[in-house]
Structure 1
Amino acid sequence: MRNFWGLVRAYWISDRWKEAWALTLVIALLTALSSKASVWFAMASGELVNSIAFLHDAANTRPLETILTNAGILVLLVMLKDVGFTGVRNLVSATLHRKWRGWLNDQFNQALLDGNHTHFHAQHGSADGGIVAPDNVDQRIQESIKDMTGGAIGLAMGVLGLATSLYFIGQNLLQSSVEVKGLEFLGSYGSAVLALLAVATYVPLNTWIAVKLGSLLERLNIRMQKAEGSYRSELTTFLRRSFHVAASHGEGVQKRMHDRLYVDIDRTWGRLNVVNTSYMSFELIYNFVGARIVAYAPGLVPFIHSRLDYKGYITGSEMVAQLISQCSWFIHVMPAIATLRANSQRVTELANAIEKVQHPQEFYSQSGRSDFHYASQNPVFGLTIQKLELAHQGEDATPFLSSANLRFRRGEWTFLKGESGCGKTSLIKAINGLWPYGRGTIVFPEGVKSFYAAQEVKLPQVSLKQLVCLPGSEGDHGDTQVASALHKAGLGDFIEHMANESREGKSWDQVLSGGQKQKLVVARIILQQPGLLFLDEATGALDPDGKIAFHQAIKDNCPDVTVISVMHEAVAPRSAAGTEFYHSMVLIADGVATKKPLAPSLPLELTTILAQPRPVEDKWTRFSRRLKQK
């Protein structure tokens, strides 16, 4: 699905091909019937106009009845064509649109949300490496796919309608064709050839003009989509950090940012309106000239020379008008085709980006050095990192973090210490396969589940139980297990609301405070029972007592977990009794990560006793004590 035609045909050769082809065949049949009805319509129009023209003819014994009958037949044909054929076809095509879009949307979601973390890698392209990350992925998946599938169906129906109209109308024109003075060498096909020549000259010339205008519309549509996507993305980001903007009185800066982004929308929209208006004027003039001049001109020659009667002239001209209308379908829908091309470009760019990051190291190697190796070993040996170097983009980039060997035993707690920007979070990303550039070998404990907890907790719009069960499904755990995890994490007050997606009309993302969200993370950890836990400033929103409770809950409920934690504190937190939670520390200084054990600390009660002043003994007292000991 890396190009337009690949995207188009994928649905028709998928596991749902029966559904796709059944709807397509129904649309094709209704399109053919609609084209045939256009011939009937032209003939009925000729009959009606002819009955009006000969209203006062002496041979016409029932003039009014003839007019009413022909008018009634014309109305019935219009209803049959526009309601019976075109209307039903619209319903079937809309169903095909819905089914195709749903299938294609599902394919992109599966591709982006795979175990390869494609959604992450696809957004980390580099212009310097020749691979640009797709902007506004949400817009591409929703709006662009919807408009592309709808436009493609409309385009296919138009092409099919053109083919069937050429067949039916062309067949009728040939049957009713007469000789034309000056074109006697064509015989009885003279008027048909003249009509088809007029259509073949008029339509392609104006189609070329429409294509030029359509190309401009396509470029402006792409620019408009990018501008609107950027503006919407900023609005979404703002609403997520609304509290921070309010607390810092940052509305003025935010407004100026919105104004600046909307200027791009307004300018592009203005240019788009000018081109759309120009196209509309061109189309109106084209329609008038085609239906009233070009359609009636070819039959005028044989009509003047009495080779055609009035009825034949009108009927033939109406058929030419219908043929021009069908052949002009590309002109009528050129703005839609321009939009289709713009949307298909956006979708295929995303499809290409997804394809290119299926092998992340090959992808990143195009813009820098990426030589990471991942393996597994007996869980007894824990996690091992060897010859690790982390760098930024560029083949010759100097590593900003290196380590010869790091080993984290099973059940060991280690915290990373270093100045801001030294690479603590980058180290955790590299361990999890999410740092693009550098080299090294990371050996995971085999069969051990890992869990990553970040400082900022994002909560999707799902039930509280599902929030606790993430990244798994709520069906993986019973209510009792989830309630127990909430209680142990200090969120027992919310147990009775586990099945709800909101509380008092607010989502859980709005209901829970920053500290409560981090307690929710503790509940997840207790429920999931990971063997390898990464804490990336996961206690940043908690007070000192909350941080102790956070660590104590993990220590009490996950006894064999290996913990690697990033903290800004100079000293790792201790338990309420004064014992260390952490066994070791990785110090990052001058671009080198070094692991060292922490000195074990005594319990708080014993430390207090030892710190009390000891009484001074004189010589006699010391002698008496030694004598008693002997």
Structure 2
Amino acid sequence: MRSFWGLMRAYWFSDRWVEAWTLTLVIALFTALSSKAGVWFAEASGELVNSIAFYHDAANTTPLASLLTNAGVLILLVVLKDAGFTGIRTFVSATLHRKWRGWLDSRFNAALLDTNHTHFHAQHGSSGAAAPDNIDQRVQESIKDMTGGAIGLAMGVMAVATSLYFVGRKLLETSAEVKGLEFLGSYGSAVLAFLAVAIYVPLNTWIAVKLGRLLERLNIRMQQSEGSYRGELTTFLRRSFHVAASQGENVQKTMHDRLYVDIDRTWARLNIVNTSYRSFELVYNFIGARIVAYAPGLVPYIHNRFDLKGYITGSEMVNSLISQCSWFIHVMPSIAALRANSQRVTELANAIENVQHPQEFYSLTGCSDFRYDRQNPVFGLTIQKLELTHQGEDATPFLSAANLRFRRGEWTFLKGESGCGKTSLIKAINGLWPYGRGSIVFPEGVESFYAAQEVKLQQVSLKQLVCLPGSERDHTDAQVASALHKAGLGDFIEHMADESRDGMSWDQVLSGGQKQKLVVARIVLQQPGLLFLDEATGALDPEGKIAFHQAIKDNCPDVTVISIMHEAVPPRSLSGAEFYHSIVAIADGVATKKPLAPSLPVALTTILAHPRPVEETRPVEERWLRFPRRIRQK
């Protein structure tokens, strides 16, 4: 689906081909019937005009009955054609539109939301071209408008082909000799009709194409402007509290005004072109229906080769032919929109295809040579000769780690100044950092879990939120309830099946701290072997941070933890025991790992915190020597 035609035919050659072709053939059948009904309509119009013209003729013994009969037949044909054939075709085409759009939507969602994290790579890297903007707009609006426009275009082509066949054949059957063109025989009037259509329609189609290309460019620009404005509105509503707290409404308003200026300017130009095109189309329709359609048959009618009935019938058929062949002119704005939408959809398809192999994709704009492997879980997680860089072939590494090993069950604290690369290191381990090199070897058969600082919750049930990244069918209600209780969210157990509470989604209901407790519930339920905490306790108070760590310690005994926190010293349990065993310190772009500095024994810590009155003045060293030898050895 990387090209226009590939995108157009993919559905018809997919696993849904029976559905696609069945609906298409039904549309083709009713298009042909509608075109045939156009011939019947022309003949009935001729009969009606003839009954009016000869209403007072002495030979017409039943003028009123003939007039009413012909009028009734014409009305029945209109109902049959427009409410019957055309109406059914419209319903079937709308069904095809719905089915095709649904299939394309599912394909793009499956491609974006695969295990390769395509949605992430498509937005955060480029091979010389900008990442696709407004992916939500492309998947929804562009696909919807593109599929609808393509079906309309195909139906128009079918209508032109069937009209040329039915109307053209009837014109040849009713053709008459034209004075001055006797060498054409009885096909003279038909040749004149075809010649008029062949000159008039293509010339005006060329004009329409020129205007259509301008409309296409403006449509693309309008979509980009609208998408940017909508994206900023969405972002603003998500950070509404921060705008209110900082009293940043005036700044936000200025941003909105600046973005809307582009929409307004593009819209103004689009209105001018659309108005010009509409005026051109109205003039074209009048000349085609009242002059070009009636001109070819006028010469044989003047020379008595046609009677009035034949002249009107032939002229109406020429008008029908012009109307059908002019379909491209009538829908040129829609074709321009179709091309604009298809361009945006194919750009997204290309972006998705380009990042199917992330390292090859990122290698086009920088160094991307990460090697991921598996080893016996006894050896834990190993990182060797790791260097992280930014985009660019000659980018200097901003972080390097010669050799880092994390044993099974080991808790490691990442320490360093802001901006030193702590989060980048965790992202690289998880395959989410694009540029650099090195070897990352994971323990075989061990699941990993990445907990970020900011928690965004999808609009699903609370049980599903706890079961992520798995399905709610993977765990019983009792297991999920137990995880919520251990995480400190027991008050919400009775609402596990709800997708909202008091009309608000869980993302709105839960506070920042509660969302981070929800992460604990996920960890307790999922039992990962590798846990990455990227400032995952930032919204918790000191007691909450201790509870966060204690819940993991108590329920995931063999988990390997690598954690980033703002604190200079990692938290300890309420008893004073250390959660963490080692520290990875990042300084001057180098990451080094060392054991956590030993702390004073728990007993000594307690005594020093609550000293006996008689020992208040004694030095710490003297009091330390008074402890039994076994305690001092600890």
TM-score (norm 2): 0.96
Asked whether the equivalents of residues 579 and 601 of structure 1 are also in contact (C-alpha less than 8 Å), the reply is no
1:368 aligns with 2:356: no
Amino acid at match of 2:371: H
Deviation at 1:603, TM superposition (A): 4.9
Deviation at 1:606, TM superposition (A): 3.1
Whole-angstrom distance in 2 between the partners of 1:424 and 1:124 = 19
Deviations, residues 434-477 of structure 1 (Å, cap 9, x unaligned):
11111000000111010000110001111111111111111111
Whole-angstrom distance in 2 between the partners of 1:25 and 1:608 = 85
Amino acid at match of 2:237: L
Whole-angstrom distance in 2 between the partners of 1:46 and 1:596 = 98
1:50 corresponds in structure 2 to 50
Amino acid at match of 2:529: G
Whole-angstrom distance in 1 between the partners of 2:49 and 2:267 = 45
Amino acid at match of 2:207: I
Gaps of 5+ in 1: 623-630
Query: What are the equivalent positions in structure 2 for 1:411-560 lying under 5 Å apart?
Result: 411-560=409-558
Amino acid at match of 1:451: F
1:39 corresponds in structure 2 to 39
Indicate the SS of the match to 2:350: helix
Amino acid at match of 2:97: H
Amino acid at match of 1:122: A
Query: What are the equivalent positions in structure 2 for 1:230-379 lying under 5 Å apart?
Result: 230-379=228-377
1:67 aligns with 2:67: yes
Indicate the SS of the match to 1:388: strand
Indicate the SS of the match to 1:131: coil
Deviation at 1:601, TM superposition (A): 2.5
Deviation at 1:249, TM superposition (A): 1.1
Indicate the SS of the match to 2:536: coil
2:226 corresponds in structure 1 to 228
Amino acid at match of 1:466: Q
Query: What are the equivalent positions in structure 2 for 1:176-195 lying under 5 Å apart?
Result: 176-195=174-193
Whole-angstrom distance in 2 between the partners of 1:616 and 1:403 = 46
Whole-angstrom distance in 1 between the partners of 2:348 and 2:395 = 29
Amino acid at match of 1:185: F
Amino acid at match of 2:383: I
Query: What are the equivalent positions in structure 2 for 1:376-391 lying under 5 Å apart?
Result: 376-391=374-389
Deviations, residues 456-504 of structure 1 (Å, cap 9, x unaligned):
0001111111111111111111000000000000000111111111111
Whole-angstrom distance in 1 between the partners of 2:507 and 2:208 = 50
Whole-angstrom distance in 2 between the partners of 1:109 and 1:259 = 33
Asked whether the equivalents of residues 452 and 536 of structure 1 are also in contact (C-alpha less than 8 Å), the reply is yes
Gaps of 5+ in 2: 620-624, 626-634
Indicate the SS of the match to 1:298: coil
1:592 corresponds in structure 2 to 590
Asked whether the equivalents of residues 577 and 605 of structure 1 are also in contact (C-alpha less than 8 Å), the reply is no
Deviation at 1:578, TM superposition (A): 1.2
Deviation at 1:506, TM superposition (A): 1.1
2:202 corresponds in structure 1 to 204
Indicate the SS of the match to 2:400: strand
Deviations, residues 286-333 of structure 1 (Å, cap 9, x unaligned):
000000000000000111111111111100000000000000000000
Deviations, residues 205-233 of structure 1 (Å, cap 9, x unaligned):
00001001110111111011111111111
Deviation at 1:194, TM superposition (A): 0.3
Indicate the SS of the match to 2:385: strand
1:19 corresponds in structure 2 to 19
Cα pair distance change 1:370/1:170, threshold 3 Å: same
Asked whether the equivalents of residues 578 and 602 of structure 1 are also in contact (C-alpha less than 8 Å), the reply is no
Query: What are the equivalent positions in structure 2 for 1:396-411 lying under 5 Å apart?
Result: 396-411=394-409
2:565 corresponds in structure 1 to 567
Amino acid at match of 1:104: L
Whole-angstrom distance in 2 between the partners of 1:125 and 1:178 = 69
Amino acid at match of 1:189: Y
2:630 corresponds in structure 1 to none
Indicate the SS of the match to 1:123: helix
Amino acid at match of 2:112: L
TM-score (norm 1): 0.96
Whole-angstrom distance in 1 between the partners of 2:464 and 2:246 = 33
For these two proteins, the number of residue pairs brought into alignment is 616
Deviation at 1:247, TM superposition (A): 1.3
Amino acid at match of 1:79: V
2:629 corresponds in structure 1 to none
Indicate the SS of the match to 2:296: helix
1:115 aligns with 2:115: yes
Indicate the SS of the match to 1:75: helix
Deviations, residues 58-78 of structure 1 (Å, cap 9, x unaligned):
111111111100000000000
Amino acid at match of 1:7: L
Percent sequence identity over aligned pairs: 84
Asked whether the equivalents of residues 580 and 600 of structure 1 are also in contact (C-alpha less than 8 Å), the reply is no
Cα pair distance change 1:132/1:496, threshold 3 Å: same
2:631 corresponds in structure 1 to none
Whole-angstrom distance in 2 between the partners of 1:600 and 1:49 = 107
1:88 corresponds in structure 2 to 88
1:626 corresponds in structure 2 to none
Deviation at 1:600, TM superposition (A): 3.0
Cα pair distance change 1:291/1:615, threshold 3 Å: closer
Indicate the SS of the match to 1:353: helix
Whole-angstrom distance in 1 between the partners of 2:175 and 2:601 = 109
Whole-angstrom distance in 1 between the partners of 2:240 and 2:34 = 55
Deviations, residues 32-57 of structure 1 (Å, cap 9, x unaligned):
00000000000000110111111111
Indicate the SS of the match to 1:61: coil
Indicate the SS of the match to 2:124: coil
Deviation at 1:7, TM superposition (A): 1.1
